[in-house]
Structure 1
């Protein structure tokens, strides 16, 4: 039976806007088109795990518009466990406003909404938790009462205090970061990459189109991307982490976890929106085997 994966972080609506160019200060730019999609890093990961057939629980504050927006019903239909949501009737859902221009430049504005209350909330103990982009105070609390911790500070790393970051890292079993974030983690903690590897069993660093690298204390695995025609990069990292974590809890070796993550990510970038066309395990396996060869039994 699959292990329950609890995912902590944002549940948000993503408003993706295509513009002629990113406007500067006191400037305007024509909007070509826009779409609204369910998003938020934690919810993206939870949905991807559920689509793959895994057991997933979302731990996130949501606002009064959670039901009326259709988001609640969407998560229920996918099969995400919502029993640990914090329902805040005096708040709105978090919302990301993502602007993309014709040259693939991107600017994002994020409205925290219900997520701004994270630091006031008290977590309950969990078995296996992934800390997605979210509030550092809450993440530090839950990291100390979880059985196993996966951590992805993401773009909210700039809001972390050194104390909270060090508390989380001291309890982290898997750390996910991109090349910029891992450098920032080293700078904030004063620890070299070698020192980080000594205290964290597995570190996964993503390099966009160059794939990812999985580091343990004495091994390094290079994981290539699965090439597809990319339409929208939003949510690719979340899909990667979902595939990786489900494979990890199912007992696959680390290189296979990375390849499964890369395969799931390839589905996310093919369509607009981070949750639009996430695969079942069977669809993922077919693409995995077409690209990497047979997916051996765990």
Structure 2
């Protein structure tokens, strides 16, 4: 089976379930957004949530997708940068324990972490301190990294480092890899629109976006947004939350529903959908089956807190995929 290399911010998710949304107002964090914060602000969030029990998990959008693929038995690797600290160790250990080859560089800066604040309605709000993660630079991207891989998946959050993301895509294409991007967040798309469009048109084969990201990218909604999203790329996937997803390749448009699920926390839903979709694509399955496997993964991950699932969940997922393939 083909192998997938991910590139993203190496972050440790610090997950906290809120009793209500008042804390978000107090911390001045718009609900459902991903805000980049400095070390002081990150500390403030930690203190404001010190009474809440926290869960730690290696996170970051691309890392979540790679984790999902590794859990389905795909050979994977991940490029990122961590600090020489406990959180950096948590991240690295989590990768190696899940059979992901870690291409991790180290920095004297603290490891990046995302404070994920989960509202009672399961919407999540991120206060993200990028730390060492953001120090990954174009100089760290070398040809050898791409040698053993067929697919290259990148999170849109990296566009704040334009020279890094551009060089990585150029190198991946030069090495014959199939490339994908997850647009990551509507505010990221709004702030980097021209650059992102050029990037997708020039280097990206597969693009994933949710409704808000697609609207920020195209100015349109629904199927109109999908058609425009697909311009200049091979496959476009519009993730519609409870409505499932729409996928376009050339003239083919497919609509896929969701699986029944009880949502506790939507963290990682889009990332895991991408993992399921890429898993299907790697095996040359129809777009509909790719989308259905994406739905199976995202439907399962929203039933747990955080982007990681235990063995029994993955066992259940494998069973559902098998049924889907027969």
Output the TM-score relative to the length of structure 1. Answer: 0.85
**1:142 counterpart residue number:** 168
| Paired position in structure 1 for 2:63 | 43
- Tell me what 1:151 maps to: 181
Runs (4 or more) in structure 1 with deviation over 6 Å come to 26-30, 278-281
Unaligned runs of 5+ residues in structure 2 are 29-47
Q: Is the 8 A contact 2:65 2:274 kept in 1?
A: yes
Asked if 1:79 corresponds to 2:99, the answer is yes
CA distance in 1, matches of 2:199, 2:88: 37
Q: Would the alpha carbon gap of residues 167 and 158 (structure 1) be closer, same or farther in structure 2, given more than 3 Å must change?
A: same
Inter-partner Cα distance in structure 2 for 1:86 and 1:244: 29
Cα distance in structure 1, aligned partners of 2:91 and 2:27: 34
| Equivalent position SS for 2:151 | strand
Equivalent positions of 1:255-270 (< 5 A) are 255-270=288-303
Q: Distance in 1 between matches of 2:231 and 2:118?
A: 39
Q: What is the distance in 2 between the residues matched to 1:66 and 1:175?
A: 34
Residue 16 (structure 1) aligned with residue 15 (structure 2): yes
Is the CA contact 1:211–1:223 (under 8 Å) kept in the aligned structure 2? yes
Contact 1:15 1:35 in 2 (8 A): yes
Candidates 107, 110, 113, aligned match of 2:131: 113
Q: Distance in 2 between matches of 1:218 and 1:144?
A: 27
Matched, 1:128 2:151: yes
Q: How does 1:1-298 map to 2 (within 5 A)?
A: 2-22=1-21, 23=23, 24-25=25-26, 33-65=53-85, 69-82=89-102, 84-88=103-107, 90-125=108-143, 126=146, 127-136=150-159, 137=162, 138-146=164-172, 147-155=177-185, 156-160=188-192, 162-163=194-195, 165-187=197-219, 194-277=227-310, 283-288=316-321, 294-296=324-326
CA contact (8 A) 1:10 1:133 kept: no
- Which runs of no fewer than 5 residues in structure 1 stay unpaired? none
Q: 1:211 to 1:279 in 2, by over 3 A?
A: farther
Alignment RMSD: 2.8
C-alpha separation between the residues in 2 aligned to 1:57 and 1:223? 29
**2: CA distance, partners of 1:38 / 1:211:** 26
Instruction: Determine helix, strand or coil for the equivalent of 2:54.
Output: strand
For structure 1, which segment, 245-254 or 112-121, has the greater mean C-alpha deviation from structure 2 after superposition?
A: 112-121
Kindly indicate which of the two structures has a greater share of residues assigned to helix.
2
After TM superposition, the structure 1 stretch with the greater mean CA deviation from structure 2, 238-247 or 117-126, is 117-126
